[in-house]
Amino acid sequence: MKLNQNTSITKEETEVIEHLKNSYNELVYPSKSFGVTSINSLEAKAKLWGLNPVPAKEARVLELGCSMGGNIIGQAVYHQGATFVGVDLSESQIEIGNEIINAMDLKNVKLVEQDILKIDKDFGTFDYIIVHGIWSWVPDVVKDKILEICNVNLSERGVAYISYNVYPGWHRLNQVREMMMFATQNDQGMDLLERTEKGISFVHHMNELIKESKDLVPTLEWKTNSFDSALDHKTYYIAHEYLEPINDPVYVSDFIKRAKNYNMVYVADTDFQLSAITWMKQERRKLINTMSGGDWNTKEQILDFYYDTQFRRSLLCHESQAHLLRHNEEFLIETIDSLYFGMVNKGKELKDTDNAIEQAIVNQCRKGEFFDVADCKAELERLQNGVEYNEIELYSMLIRFLLCGFIVPVTEKKEITTFQEGMSTVPKEMANYVQTVVDRGGDKFINISDLYNDSITGFNSGHVLMMKELETPKTLEELYVLADEKLKVNETESSGKVVEIAGRTVVDGVLDDLGRLGFLCNK
């Protein structure tokens, strides 16, 4: 098979690809949703950097290496006007994913068992291409094919997202991989799960040995920190992260050059701190600019050396769109006005400040909901009691929060509502989605996600019952009666005795959940 630049696939690469296929069939990797790949998040970040991406609501989306579709199924539920295609080499995972989609009766997403080396221009064009957790674990021929697909199958205004392991940070974690490979070098016939557990045990014991020997090797805390980080994952993650035949970190500068070979231009990392420097102190900015010679791509590599970065999530666009990029970090007011912002770490405590503009943004973050510039202005006017303020300073402070990683931008806002008797409904697609995951065994393979593709936990049969019943409006009393009839709710008394209580006791809480998470529509 011939690819761009006359690259052909070798026998060794074919064997590696077949091994990858078999390993993912052998040890199934649950298919999670990743908020960073949410198309309304990708759209927002692309807009901030100057591009004119297709709106998420009407986009055509392709995910390479989709597993069971957990990263795009939820997005398809929330974006009924968009279309989603997932491609994966694993027959078993595609089969499971399509069973889930069929059970949901979802029409705008499909999963295809497909060798991506066989994808060509006839496969169609897409406005967003997502490649998460694939790049570093495939042979070079597949890496090149991914970039070729971005070039050939990405629409003119399209945005591609590729995540990958990077140096210098991955030099620390390479030791974990090498140790696990060493510990299992004579066990290649062993099941992947058993082999992984043996490798984990070896690293664990080595970690404990070093921690107990601080009197002899007091300077190795960085190593035990890396070991702790590596071991703090599920077994299936460790298996595919550290024991696959390929784990190929690169320097971001090399990734950028490789993308350029396929006429793809590096936009930025989805993490603004890995690309932006205007939030830094002046002397640091000046030094980085001097070191980089003002070159955007060189600066990216310098920042990776600075942060000891080990993972990147890069955005790419066509060469024809490069003239739009705002790599001077001067973001347009009209773009900022069009977006919503939400706090990244909702558990993080934000301190009060004497700066009224900063305090207004802090107060919006504390609410835990997404907000826009108009919300900040209203809060600032409340704090200032009508006293005039510098509007440009508000935009500058909002950008600073963004570039420092405190907030994240999106193009759509989740509607937070309260239940209204005889009016509130739940869209059928959303009810089917939750029912399939919670009551039909889908939770073994995918998770429930929200509009921003972040995981939702804690849903149970009570949520399913209320959502299905609210496909048509109901009164609160009708929901209470249905819950009493159909829900079995147990409560453990202080004595330890388990007693059954009325189903209606959970209804109010469930309705609050549905409203808070954006599932309720009030007409």
Q: How far apart are CA 81 and CA 429, in angstroms?
A: 13
Strands 455-456 and 498-501: unpaired
Q: How far apart are CA 358 and CA 39, in angstroms?
A: 29
Q: How many residues does the chain have?
A: 523
Boundaries of domain holding 366? 340-410
pLDDT at 26: 54
Number of Cα atoms under 13 Å in the Cβ half of residue 348: 14
Instruction: Give domain status of residue 418, yes or no.
Output: no
Same domain flag for 74 and 200: no
Same domain flag for 383 and 446: no
Same domain flag for 374 and 439: no
* Torsion angle of C-alpha atoms 268, 272, 278, 279, degrees rounded to 10: -170
pTM over 0.85: yes
Instruction: Give domain status of residue 331, yes or no.
Output: no
Same domain flag for 146 and 184: no
CATH number at residue 61: 3.40.50.150
Same domain flag for 131 and 28: yes
Instruction: Give domain status of residue 301, yes or no.
Output: no
User: What average pLDDT is seen over the chain?
Assistant: 91
Same domain flag for 217 and 256: no
Instruction: Give domain status of residue 287, yes or no.
Output: no
Are the C-beta atoms of residues 8 and 2 closer than 8 Å to each other?
A: yes
How many C-beta atoms surround the C-beta of residue 355 within 10 A? 12
Same domain flag for 238 and 259: no
| Secondary structure tally for the chain: helices H, strands E | 20, 15
pLDDT at 1: 28
Last residue of a domain, one of 410, 436, 458: 410
Instruction: Give domain status of residue 256, yes or no.
Output: yes
Same domain flag for 76 and 203: no
Are the C-beta atoms of residues 230 and 238 closer than 8 Å to each other?
A: yes
Residues 6+ apart with CB under 8 A from 496: none
Helix axes 221-231, 192-211, angle to 10 degrees: 150
pLDDT at 12: 64
C-alpha to C-alpha distances, 47 to 42, 197, 328, 486, 512, nearest whole angstrom: 9, 44, 14, 48, 34
C-alpha to C-alpha distances, 304 to 170, 250, 274, 276, nearest whole angstrom: 11, 11, 7, 12
Instruction: Give domain status of residue 117, yes or no.
Output: yes
Same domain flag for 48 and 137: yes
Same domain flag for 365 and 395: yes
Give the residue carrying structure tokens 């453990």.
492
Closest to 85 (Cα-Cα) out of 23, 440, 97: 97
C-alpha to C-alpha distances, 43 to 51, 76, 128, 143, 374, nearest whole angstrom: 9, 15, 9, 24, 20
Instruction: Give domain status of residue 192, yes or no.
Output: yes
323, burial (CB in 10 Å: exposed 0-12, middle 13-18, buried 19+): exposed
Last residue of a domain, one of 242, 257, 285: 242
Where the chain has pLDDT below 50, the residues are 1-7
Q: How far apart are CA 465 and CA 486, in angstroms?
A: 8
Question: What is the number of structural domains in the chain?
Answer: 4
Q: How far apart are CA 39 and CA 451, in angstroms?
A: 10
Same domain flag for 370 and 265: no
Strands 126-131 and 154-165: parallel
Strands 455-456 and 448-449: antiparallel
Q: How far apart are CA 188 and CA 192, in angstroms?
A: 8
Amino acid making up residue 32 = K
Same domain flag for 11 and 144: yes
Instruction: Give domain status of residue 79, yes or no.
Output: yes
Are the C-beta atoms of residues 77 and 450 closer than 8 Å to each other?
A: no
Last residue of a domain, one of 380, 410, 440: 410
- Tokens standing for residue 96: 């499971």
